[in-house]
C-alpha cells in the first residue's frame, strides 16, 4: 500500500507535457524555375490533424491524419505556375513536448515535366 | 588449202555453232576434219561420267523444300510488335513519364496529355474505360499512399 501511494505521488509530481495545436508551412524554393508539380514527405513526432494547400488542397492519404508521417503532393497545369520560394502547403498538428520535423522532397517538376530539385523549408506558421 | 580453221573454228564446227563457210571448209579439208574429230574425242573424254547417287540422297536433294519465309516473316512481325508494345506502354502502371516510379509528376504529365487531347487507352489507370481527370487523381492518390 505504501508503495502504491509512493508511485501515485511520484506520478503526480511529474509535470504533465503541454499539448498545443500548431501549424507549419512547407516551402519549395525552386531558385526561380517555375514549379508545376511537387511531392514532399513530412515526418514528425507530432500528430497531424489537417492540411491546407494553395488554390486546391494537396493530395494526401487520409490514413496519415492522426499519425506522424504524411506524403503531400500537388500539381498545376495553369499557364503561369509559381516560381521562387513557393508556399506549397500548411500542415496543422497537435504537438506534445518537444517536436522534430523532417521534410523530404520526393518529386518536383517544371513545365513540360522536367524534374527539378527545389530546396524544402519548414517554417512554423507565423514565422519567417 | 592454206586458210585452215583455227582452234575456235574447229570447236565451233564440233559443237554445231560454226558459220556455213567454216562448215564448208571443214567438209573439204581433211586436215581440219581431223582436227574436228580430235575435238569430238576430247569433248567425249571431258564429259563427266554419270554418278550413281543413292536413291535416298537423290530424294532429299530433289524433294521440294518447305519454305520457311512466311513463318519467319510472321515471327519477325510478331517480335517487332512485341518490342514496340513493350517500348511504348508504361512499364509501371501510372508511370506516364517513364521515370521508373509513380509520383505526382506522372499525374501532371497525364493531365497535360489529356488537355492536349492525347487519350491513349494505356492511360486508363482506374479501368473505367475512359481516360480523364479521374485517372489523374488515381495516379496522384497512388503517389501519396502510405505504404
pLDDT tens for chain A, 128 residues: list them.
Answer: 565 565 556 555 555 678 899 999 999 999 999 999 999 999 999 999 999 987 788 999 999 998 999 999 999 999 999 999 999 999 999 999 889 999 999 999 999 999 999 999 999 986 54
CA dist., res. A35 & res. A113, Å (int): 10
pLDDT digit string (tens) for B2-24? 678 888 889 889 988 899 988 99
In chain B, which residue's Cα lies nearest the Cα of A69? B146
Q: How many Cβ pairs closer than 8 A exist between chain A and B?
A: 68
Q: B106 with B94: CB under 8 angstroms? A: yes
Strand, helix or coil at A12?
helix
What is the average pLDDT score of chain B?
Answer: 87
Question: A53 exposed, middle or buried (CB, 10 Å; 0-12, 13-18, 19+)?
Answer: middle
CB–CB contact B104 A59 (8 Å) = yes
Question: B98 exposed, middle or buried (CB, 10 Å; 0-12, 13-18, 19+)?
Answer: middle
Lookup: cell for B145: 499512399
What sign does the CA torsion over A51, A57, A60, A62 have? positive
Instruction: Give the pLDDT of residue A9.
Output: 60
Instruction: Give the pLDDT of residue A3.
Output: 56
CA dist., res. B111 & res. B116, Å (int): 9
CB–CB contact B140 A73 (8 Å) = yes
**Which residues of chain B are within 8 Å of residue A74 when distances are taken between CB atoms?**
104
Instruction: Give the pLDDT of residue A97.
Output: 87
Lookup: cell for B136: 489523374
**Which residues of chain A are within 8 Å of residue B109 when distances are taken between CB atoms?**
113
CA dist., res. B5 & res. A55, Å (int): 109
B132 touches chain A (CB under 8 A): no
* Residue A95: closest CA among A60, A128, A49: A49
In which band, very low, low, confident or very high, does the pLDDT at B42 lie, cut at 50, 70 and 90? confident
Query: How close, in Å, is residue B86 to chain A by CA atoms?
Result: 22
Q: What percent of chain B has pLDDT over 90?
A: 39
In chain B, which residue's Cα lies nearest the Cα of A36? B108
CB–CB contact A71 B140 (8 Å) = no
Query: How close, in Å, is residue A8 to chain B by CA atoms?
Result: 40
Give CA separation, A33 vs A28, A105, B143, in Å. Answer: 11, 16, 23
Q: Which pTM does this prediction carry?
A: 0.63
Amino acid at each position: 500500500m505504501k508503495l502504491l501511494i509512493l508511485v501515485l505521488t511520484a506520478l503526480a509530481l511529474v509535470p504533465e507535457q503541454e499539448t498545443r495545436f500548431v501549424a507549419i508551412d512547407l516551402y519549395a524554393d525552386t531558385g526561380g524555375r517555375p514549379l508545376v508539380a511537387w511531392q514532399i514527405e513530412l515526418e514528425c513526432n507530432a500528430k497531424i490533424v489537417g492540411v491546407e494547400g494553395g488554390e486546391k488542397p494537396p493530395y494526401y492519404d487520409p490514413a496519415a491524419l492522426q499519425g506522424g508521417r504524411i506524403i503531400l503532393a500537388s500539381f498545376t497545369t495553369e499557364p503561369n505556375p509559381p516560381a521562387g520560394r513557393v508556399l506549397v502547403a500548411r500542415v496543422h498538428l497537435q504537438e506534445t513536448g518537444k517536436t522534430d520535423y523532417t521534410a523530404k522532397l520526393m518529386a518536383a517538376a517544371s513545365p513540360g515535366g522536367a524534374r527539378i530539385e527545389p530546396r524544402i523549408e519548414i517554417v512554423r506558421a507565423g514565422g519567417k | 588449202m592454206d586458210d585452215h580453221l583455227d582452234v575456235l573454228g574447229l570447236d565451233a564446227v564440233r559443237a554445231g555453232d560454226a558459220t556455213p563457210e567454216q562448215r564448208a571448209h571443214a567438209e573439204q579439208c581433211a586436215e581440219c576434219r581431223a582436227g574436228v574429230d580430235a575435238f569430238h574425242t576430247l569433248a567425249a573424254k571431258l564429259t563427266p561420267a554419270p554418278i550413281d547417287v543413292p536413291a535416298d540422297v537423290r530424294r532429299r536433294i530433289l524433294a521440294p523444300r518447305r519454305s520457311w519465309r512466311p513463318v519467319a516473316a510472321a515471327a519477325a512481325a510478331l517480335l517487332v510488335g512485341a518490342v514496340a508494345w513493350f517500348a511504348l506502354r508504361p512499364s509501371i502502371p501510372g508511370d506516364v513519364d517513364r521515370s521508373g516510379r509513380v509520383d505526382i509528376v506522372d499525374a501532371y504529365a497525364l493531365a497535360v496529355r489529356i488537355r492536349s487531347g492525347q487519350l491513349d487507352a494505356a492511360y486508363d489507370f482506374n479501368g473505367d474505360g475512359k481516360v480523364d481527370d479521374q485517372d489523374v487523381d488515381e495516379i496522384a492518390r497512388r503517389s501519396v499512399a502510405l505504404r
